[in-house]
Amino acid sequence: MPDSQTPPRLLSTYLLVIDLQMLLYWALACIRALGAADLPDEHLYADYEAPLMVAWNWSFLPMDIVLSATGLVAVYRRRAGLSWRGLAAFSLALTFCAGLMAISFWAIRREFSWLWWGANMVYVLGPIWFLPKLGTDRAPDLAPAS
């Protein structure tokens, strides 16, 4: 197997995991907002119920949905042998922004939780690793998935 195929396969896996996790997070947030389920406090971030924190959290929804949708479509298009790199790059850029915004917010508040910082560091570090590889990979954009 050529090395040029390794980053796209790993990237597809990264996008699938991140995007499905993001959609799961928002599904749980919606279920909780509707009062249909409650999550243990240790899984919630600080001041979860405070109106300003609620607004801050829900302000991420549009970006998170777009990053998930573009990432999942990029994976689908790659597997179908269609042009996919532009969508993957866009999804990675939004993923980086979402993670960096959250880390910045928690750093400003001087609050640390392994759960929230860990997840958001994955959002920041993944794109830092994948974007340069995506831009310099010599494999054609329409290369079939392997």
Please state, in angstroms and rounded to a whole number, the distance separating the CA atoms of residues 107 and 49: 20
Phi-psi region of 110 (alpha: psi -120 to 50; beta: other; left: phi over 0): left
End-to-end CA distance of the chain: 9
Angle, helices 85-108/61-79, rounded to nearest 10 degrees: 150
Could you report the per-residue pLDDT of 77-132, keeping only the tens digit for each? 999 999 999 999 999 999 999 999 999 988 998 988 887 789 999 999 999 999 98
Closest CA to 17 of 144, 105, 130: 130
Q: What pTM value is reported for the model?
A: 0.82
The amino acid sitting at 31 is I
Could you report the per-residue pLDDT of 34-74, keeping only the tens digit for each? 776 666 655 565 666 678 888 888 999 999 999 999 999 99
